[in-house]
Structure 1
Amino acid sequence: MRTLIVTGTGTGVGKTVVTAAVATLAAAAGERVVVLKPAQTGIEPGAPGDLADVTRLTGGAVAVRELARYPDPLAPATAARRSGRAPLRVADVTAAASDTAAGPGVDLLLVEGAGGLLVRLNDDGETLGDVATALDAPVLLVASAGLGVLNTAALTAEALDRRHLTFTGTVVGAYPEQPDLAERTNLADLPTVTGAPLLGVLPEGLGRADPQGFTEAARCGLHPVLGGQWVPPLP
Protein backbone atom coordinates (compact mmCIF):
# COMPACT_ATOMS: atom_id res chain seq x y z
CA MET A 1 0.00 0.00 0.00
CA ARG A 2 1.29 3.42 -0.97
CA THR A 3 0.68 6.31 1.41
CA LEU A 4 0.63 10.01 0.55
CA ILE A 5 0.20 12.83 3.05
CA VAL A 6 -1.68 15.89 1.76
CA THR A 7 -1.03 19.18 3.54
CA GLY A 8 -1.52 22.84 2.66
CA THR A 9 0.06 26.26 2.83
CA GLY A 10 -2.94 27.21 4.98
CA THR A 11 -6.67 26.66 5.29
CA GLY A 12 -9.10 26.99 2.41
CA VAL A 13 -6.45 26.34 -0.25
CA GLY A 14 -8.17 23.35 -1.88
CA LYS A 15 -6.70 20.38 0.01
CA THR A 16 -9.91 18.37 -0.11
CA VAL A 17 -10.40 19.00 -3.83
CA VAL A 18 -6.80 17.98 -4.57
CA THR A 19 -7.12 14.90 -2.36
CA ALA A 20 -10.30 13.93 -4.20
CA ALA A 21 -8.64 14.59 -7.57
CA VAL A 22 -5.70 12.29 -6.80
CA ALA A 23 -8.12 9.71 -5.42
CA THR A 24 -10.48 9.75 -8.41
CA LEU A 25 -7.66 9.31 -10.93
CA ALA A 26 -6.20 6.41 -8.96
CA ALA A 27 -9.65 4.81 -8.72
CA ALA A 28 -10.22 5.34 -12.46
CA ALA A 29 -6.95 3.49 -13.05
CA GLY A 30 -8.34 0.50 -11.16
CA GLU A 31 -6.75 1.11 -7.79
CA ARG A 32 -8.53 0.70 -4.46
CA VAL A 33 -8.19 4.00 -2.61
CA VAL A 34 -8.87 5.03 0.98
CA VAL A 35 -8.95 8.68 2.06
CA LEU A 36 -8.23 9.19 5.76
CA LYS A 37 -9.09 12.48 7.50
CA PRO A 38 -7.47 12.30 10.93
CA ALA A 39 -9.06 15.47 12.33
CA GLN A 40 -12.08 17.40 11.11
CA THR A 41 -12.73 20.72 12.84
CA GLY A 42 -15.48 23.30 12.53
CA ILE A 43 -18.17 20.70 11.77
CA GLU A 44 -20.87 19.53 14.16
CA PRO A 45 -21.43 15.79 14.73
CA GLY A 46 -23.53 14.29 11.97
CA ALA A 47 -22.97 17.19 9.57
CA PRO A 48 -21.23 16.51 6.24
CA GLY A 49 -17.53 17.32 6.35
CA ASP A 50 -14.58 17.12 3.97
CA LEU A 51 -15.01 13.40 3.41
CA ALA A 52 -18.57 13.94 2.22
CA ASP A 53 -17.09 16.19 -0.46
CA VAL A 54 -14.58 13.47 -1.40
CA THR A 55 -17.36 10.92 -1.70
CA ARG A 56 -19.50 13.26 -3.82
CA LEU A 57 -16.69 14.35 -6.14
CA THR A 58 -15.42 10.81 -6.71
CA GLY A 59 -18.89 9.37 -7.17
CA GLY A 60 -18.35 7.08 -4.21
CA ALA A 61 -15.43 5.35 -5.93
CA VAL A 62 -13.16 5.58 -2.87
CA ALA A 63 -13.48 4.57 0.77
CA VAL A 64 -13.26 7.27 3.45
CA ARG A 65 -12.53 7.33 7.18
CA GLU A 66 -12.52 10.10 9.78
CA LEU A 67 -10.85 9.67 13.17
CA ALA A 68 -11.76 12.74 15.24
CA ARG A 69 -14.21 15.63 14.92
CA TYR A 70 -14.41 18.86 16.89
CA PRO A 71 -17.08 21.55 16.44
CA ASP A 72 -14.94 24.70 16.73
CA PRO A 73 -13.20 25.89 13.52
CA LEU A 74 -9.76 25.90 15.14
CA ALA A 75 -6.53 23.92 15.11
CA PRO A 76 -7.21 20.33 16.26
CA ALA A 77 -5.34 20.76 19.55
CA THR A 78 -7.27 23.91 20.47
CA ALA A 79 -10.59 22.54 19.25
CA ALA A 80 -10.13 19.32 21.23
CA ARG A 81 -9.24 21.23 24.40
CA ARG A 82 -12.28 23.50 24.09
CA SER A 83 -14.64 20.60 23.40
CA GLY A 84 -13.39 18.49 26.30
CA ARG A 85 -12.97 15.57 23.91
CA ALA A 86 -9.91 13.37 23.64
CA PRO A 87 -7.25 14.89 21.37
CA LEU A 88 -6.01 13.13 18.28
CA ARG A 89 -2.61 11.47 18.58
CA VAL A 90 -0.09 10.33 15.99
CA ALA A 91 -0.53 6.79 17.30
CA ASP A 92 -4.23 6.97 16.37
CA VAL A 93 -3.33 7.82 12.78
CA THR A 94 -0.65 5.16 12.46
CA ALA A 95 -3.04 2.56 13.90
CA ALA A 96 -5.68 3.55 11.33
CA ALA A 97 -3.10 3.32 8.56
CA SER A 98 -2.09 -0.15 9.77
CA ASP A 99 -5.73 -1.22 9.79
CA THR A 100 -6.11 0.07 6.24
CA ALA A 101 -2.99 -1.74 5.07
CA ALA A 102 -4.33 -4.96 6.57
CA GLY A 103 -7.55 -4.62 4.57
CA PRO A 104 -8.22 -6.41 1.31
CA GLY A 105 -6.28 -5.04 -1.63
CA VAL A 106 -5.82 -1.39 -0.69
CA ASP A 107 -3.43 0.26 -3.14
CA LEU A 108 -3.35 3.90 -2.02
CA LEU A 109 -3.96 5.64 1.31
CA LEU A 110 -4.36 9.42 1.16
CA VAL A 111 -4.06 11.19 4.52
CA GLU A 112 -5.52 14.71 4.39
CA GLY A 113 -4.34 17.01 7.16
CA ALA A 114 -6.04 20.02 8.72
CA GLY A 115 -4.45 23.31 7.72
CA GLY A 116 -0.68 23.20 7.36
CA LEU A 117 2.10 20.76 8.16
CA LEU A 118 2.84 22.08 11.66
CA VAL A 119 -0.70 22.66 12.92
CA ARG A 120 -0.86 20.99 16.33
CA LEU A 121 -2.95 17.86 16.72
CA ASN A 122 -2.71 17.90 20.52
CA ASP A 123 -1.17 19.84 23.39
CA ASP A 124 1.93 17.64 23.31
CA GLY A 125 2.82 19.37 20.06
CA GLU A 126 2.33 16.46 17.68
CA THR A 127 1.71 17.56 14.09
CA LEU A 128 0.97 16.19 10.63
CA GLY A 129 4.72 16.31 10.10
CA ASP A 130 5.04 13.76 12.89
CA VAL A 131 2.40 11.63 11.20
CA ALA A 132 4.40 11.69 7.96
CA THR A 133 7.54 10.73 9.87
CA ALA A 134 5.80 7.88 11.69
CA LEU A 135 4.35 6.53 8.43
CA ASP A 136 7.56 7.24 6.47
CA ALA A 137 5.28 8.77 3.82
CA PRO A 138 5.92 11.42 1.17
CA VAL A 139 4.10 14.74 1.38
CA LEU A 140 2.12 16.59 -1.29
CA LEU A 141 1.69 20.32 -0.69
CA VAL A 142 -1.49 22.12 -1.79
CA ALA A 143 -0.79 25.81 -2.29
CA SER A 144 -2.92 28.89 -2.67
CA ALA A 145 -2.46 30.78 -5.92
CA GLY A 146 -1.84 34.38 -4.93
CA LEU A 147 0.45 36.81 -3.22
CA GLY A 148 2.18 35.45 -0.10
CA VAL A 149 2.19 31.80 -1.04
CA LEU A 150 5.89 31.72 -1.94
CA ASN A 151 6.83 32.37 1.67
CA THR A 152 4.48 29.79 3.18
CA ALA A 153 5.44 27.20 0.57
CA ALA A 154 9.14 27.81 1.21
CA LEU A 155 8.63 27.50 4.98
CA THR A 156 6.82 24.20 4.48
CA ALA A 157 9.63 22.94 2.25
CA GLU A 158 12.17 23.89 4.91
CA ALA A 159 10.16 22.09 7.60
CA LEU A 160 9.97 18.96 5.43
CA ASP A 161 13.71 19.07 4.79
CA ARG A 162 14.50 19.44 8.49
CA ARG A 163 12.43 16.32 9.16
CA HIS A 164 14.05 14.43 6.26
CA LEU A 165 10.65 13.90 4.67
CA THR A 166 10.11 13.36 0.96
CA PHE A 167 8.50 16.37 -0.70
CA THR A 168 6.60 14.98 -3.69
CA GLY A 169 5.65 18.35 -5.11
CA THR A 170 3.09 21.15 -5.08
CA VAL A 171 -0.39 21.50 -6.54
CA VAL A 172 -2.20 24.82 -6.76
CA GLY A 173 -5.63 23.92 -5.47
CA ALA A 174 -7.84 26.77 -6.75
CA TYR A 175 -6.48 28.76 -9.68
CA PRO A 176 -8.65 31.68 -10.83
CA GLU A 177 -9.98 31.96 -14.35
CA GLN A 178 -8.43 35.41 -14.69
CA PRO A 179 -5.17 35.30 -12.69
CA ASP A 180 -3.39 38.46 -11.65
CA LEU A 181 0.33 39.08 -12.00
CA ALA A 182 1.29 37.30 -8.75
CA GLU A 183 -0.88 34.29 -9.56
CA ARG A 184 0.73 33.97 -12.99
CA THR A 185 4.33 34.34 -11.86
CA ASN A 186 3.86 32.07 -8.83
CA LEU A 187 3.47 29.07 -11.12
CA ALA A 188 7.07 29.52 -12.24
CA ASP A 189 8.39 30.56 -8.83
CA LEU A 190 6.89 27.82 -6.65
CA PRO A 191 9.32 25.10 -7.85
CA THR A 192 12.23 27.50 -7.32
CA VAL A 193 11.39 28.41 -3.73
CA THR A 194 10.38 24.88 -2.68
CA GLY A 195 12.92 22.80 -4.57
CA ALA A 196 10.06 20.48 -5.57
CA PRO A 197 8.14 20.23 -8.85
CA LEU A 198 4.82 21.84 -9.59
CA LEU A 199 2.52 18.84 -10.10
CA GLY A 200 -0.72 20.47 -11.06
CA VAL A 201 -3.05 23.43 -11.20
CA LEU A 202 -6.76 22.88 -10.54
CA PRO A 203 -9.34 25.53 -11.41
CA GLU A 204 -11.18 27.55 -8.81
CA GLY A 205 -14.70 26.24 -8.22
CA LEU A 206 -13.88 22.65 -9.19
CA GLY A 207 -15.44 21.44 -5.95
CA ARG A 208 -18.87 22.14 -7.46
CA ALA A 209 -18.38 19.78 -10.42
CA ASP A 210 -20.26 16.52 -10.98
CA PRO A 211 -18.17 13.31 -10.69
CA GLN A 212 -17.62 12.89 -14.44
CA GLY A 213 -16.62 16.52 -14.96
CA PHE A 214 -14.47 16.37 -11.85
CA THR A 215 -12.53 13.35 -13.08
CA GLU A 216 -11.96 14.97 -16.46
CA ALA A 217 -10.75 18.21 -14.84
CA ALA A 218 -8.49 16.26 -12.48
CA ARG A 219 -6.93 14.46 -15.41
CA CYS A 220 -6.34 17.75 -17.21
CA GLY A 221 -5.04 19.51 -14.09
CA LEU A 222 -2.70 16.98 -12.48
CA HIS A 223 0.74 15.82 -13.58
CA PRO A 224 1.30 12.20 -14.73
CA VAL A 225 3.06 11.58 -11.40
CA LEU A 226 -0.41 11.96 -9.86
CA GLY A 227 -2.22 10.10 -12.61
CA GLY A 228 -3.10 13.04 -14.87
CA GLN A 229 -1.97 14.57 -18.14
CA TRP A 230 -1.05 18.12 -17.10
CA VAL A 231 2.22 19.54 -18.43
CA PRO A 232 3.98 22.27 -16.39
CA PRO A 233 4.29 25.66 -18.10
CA LEU A 234 7.63 26.60 -19.57
CA PRO A 235 9.75 28.92 -17.38
Structure 2
Amino acid sequence: MSAKIIVTGTGTGIGKTVFSAGLANLLGADYWKPIQAGLEGETDTEVVACLGGLSADRILPERYRLQTPASPHHSAELDGVRIEADLLDVPDTGERPLVIEGAGGL
Protein backbone atom coordinates (compact mmCIF):
# COMPACT_ATOMS: atom_id res chain seq x y z
CA MET A 1 0.00 0.00 0.00
CA SER A 2 1.35 3.42 -0.93
CA ALA A 3 1.40 6.52 1.25
CA LYS A 4 -1.59 8.85 1.07
CA ILE A 5 -0.85 12.45 2.08
CA ILE A 6 -3.65 14.97 2.52
CA VAL A 7 -2.81 18.65 2.09
CA THR A 8 -5.28 20.94 3.83
CA GLY A 9 -5.32 24.46 5.17
CA THR A 10 -7.40 27.14 6.78
CA GLY A 11 -8.53 28.95 3.66
CA THR A 12 -8.35 29.61 -0.04
CA GLY A 13 -5.17 31.09 -1.48
CA ILE A 14 -2.81 30.03 1.32
CA GLY A 15 -0.58 27.78 -0.76
CA LYS A 16 -2.11 24.29 -0.72
CA THR A 17 -1.82 23.93 -4.49
CA VAL A 18 1.78 25.14 -4.70
CA PHE A 19 2.75 22.92 -1.76
CA SER A 20 0.95 19.95 -3.33
CA ALA A 21 2.85 20.48 -6.60
CA GLY A 22 6.22 20.55 -4.86
CA LEU A 23 5.39 17.59 -2.64
CA ALA A 24 4.14 15.44 -5.52
CA ASN A 25 7.27 16.28 -7.51
CA LEU A 26 9.61 15.57 -4.59
CA LEU A 27 7.97 12.24 -3.73
CA GLY A 28 7.33 11.11 -7.30
CA ALA A 29 3.67 10.96 -6.24
CA ASP A 30 0.38 11.05 -8.08
CA TYR A 31 -1.94 14.01 -7.38
CA TRP A 32 -5.69 14.09 -6.78
CA LYS A 33 -8.09 16.91 -5.98
CA PRO A 34 -11.39 15.11 -5.30
CA ILE A 35 -13.59 18.21 -5.71
CA GLN A 36 -12.70 21.27 -7.79
CA ALA A 37 -15.01 24.19 -7.08
CA GLY A 38 -14.57 27.01 -9.58
CA LEU A 39 -13.54 26.28 -13.16
CA GLU A 40 -12.78 29.75 -14.49
CA GLY A 41 -9.09 30.13 -15.28
CA GLU A 42 -6.63 27.39 -14.37
CA THR A 43 -7.87 24.68 -12.03
CA ASP A 44 -5.76 23.47 -9.12
CA THR A 45 -5.05 20.26 -11.01
CA GLU A 46 -3.75 22.17 -14.03
CA VAL A 47 -1.54 24.34 -11.80
CA VAL A 48 -0.10 21.29 -10.01
CA ALA A 49 0.64 19.54 -13.30
CA CYS A 50 2.50 22.61 -14.56
CA LEU A 51 4.36 23.61 -11.37
CA GLY A 52 5.19 20.07 -10.35
CA GLY A 53 6.15 18.93 -13.83
CA LEU A 54 3.76 15.98 -13.47
CA SER A 55 2.93 13.89 -16.51
CA ALA A 56 -0.72 13.18 -17.32
CA ASP A 57 -0.46 9.63 -15.93
CA ARG A 58 0.34 11.08 -12.47
CA ILE A 59 -2.78 13.27 -12.37
CA LEU A 60 -6.02 11.64 -11.25
CA PRO A 61 -9.21 13.32 -12.53
CA GLU A 62 -11.42 15.16 -10.09
CA ARG A 63 -14.57 13.29 -9.06
CA TYR A 64 -16.53 16.55 -9.09
CA ARG A 65 -15.89 19.68 -11.16
CA LEU A 66 -18.20 22.42 -9.92
CA GLN A 67 -18.67 25.76 -11.67
CA THR A 68 -19.21 27.99 -8.63
CA PRO A 69 -16.04 29.07 -6.78
CA ALA A 70 -17.12 28.39 -3.19
CA SER A 71 -16.81 25.71 -0.56
CA PRO A 72 -17.61 22.32 -2.11
CA HIS A 73 -20.92 21.83 -0.28
CA HIS A 74 -22.13 25.34 -1.15
CA SER A 75 -20.87 25.16 -4.73
CA ALA A 76 -22.63 21.80 -5.21
CA GLU A 77 -25.87 23.24 -3.84
CA LEU A 78 -25.71 26.26 -6.15
CA ASP A 79 -24.76 24.09 -9.15
CA GLY A 80 -27.54 21.57 -8.45
CA VAL A 81 -25.11 18.70 -7.86
CA ARG A 82 -25.37 16.07 -5.16
CA ILE A 83 -21.97 14.97 -3.84
CA GLU A 84 -21.96 11.21 -3.30
CA ALA A 85 -19.58 10.21 -0.50
CA ASP A 86 -19.03 6.78 -2.09
CA LEU A 87 -17.40 8.45 -5.11
CA LEU A 88 -14.81 10.04 -2.85
CA ASP A 89 -13.08 6.76 -1.97
CA VAL A 90 -9.35 7.27 -2.27
CA PRO A 91 -8.10 5.77 -5.53
CA ASP A 92 -5.49 3.02 -5.53
CA THR A 93 -2.24 4.27 -7.05
CA GLY A 94 -0.32 1.05 -6.67
CA GLU A 95 3.15 1.62 -5.25
CA ARG A 96 3.23 5.33 -6.06
CA PRO A 97 2.37 7.75 -3.19
CA LEU A 98 -0.71 9.96 -3.58
CA VAL A 99 -0.97 13.64 -2.68
CA ILE A 100 -4.59 14.62 -2.07
CA GLU A 101 -5.45 18.30 -2.03
CA GLY A 102 -8.48 19.24 0.00
CA ALA A 103 -10.61 22.35 -0.14
CA GLY A 104 -9.66 25.49 1.77
CA GLY A 105 -10.83 25.43 5.36
CA LEU A 106 -11.04 22.73 7.96
Compute the TM-score of the two structures, normalised by the length of structure 2.
Answer: 0.85
Of 77, 84, 95, 1:106 maps to 95
1:106 Cα offset (Å) = 3.2
Q: CA deviation at 1:60?
A: 2.4
Q: Does 1:60 align with 2:49?
A: no
| Structure 2 residue identity aligned to 1:52 | E
Aligned mates of 1:68, 1:88 — CA distance in 2: 10
Q: Is contact 1:68-1:88 (8 Å) kept? A: no
Paired residue for 1:22? 23
Look up the match of 1:39. Answer: 35
The alignment-based identity, stated in percent, is 37
For the residue of structure 1 that corresponds to 2:21, the secondary structure is helix
Match of residue 169 from structure 1: none
Asked if the contact 1:37/1:111 (under 8 Å) is kept, the reply is: yes
- After the TM superposition, which segments of 4 or more aligned residues of structure 1 sit over 3 Å from their partners? none
Partner of 1:77: 73
Q: Is the 8 A contact 1:8 1:115 kept in 2?
A: yes
Structure number with higher helix proportion: 1
SS at match of 1:78: helix
1:40–1:68 contact (8 Å) kept in structure 2: yes
Task: Give the aligned CA root-mean-square deviation in angstroms.
Answer: 1.8
For the pair shown, the structure with the greater C-alpha radius of gyration is 1
1:8-33 superposed Cα distances (whole Å, 9 cap, x missing partner)? 12110000000011111112xxxxx2
Letter in 1 for 2:74: T
Q: Go from structure 1 to structure 2 and tell me whether the alpha carbon gap of 1:88 and 1:6 turns closer, same or farther (over 3 Å shift).
A: farther
Aligned to 2:48, the other structure's residue is in SS state helix
Give unpaired runs (5+ residues) of structure 2.
none
Cross-structure match for 1:92: 87
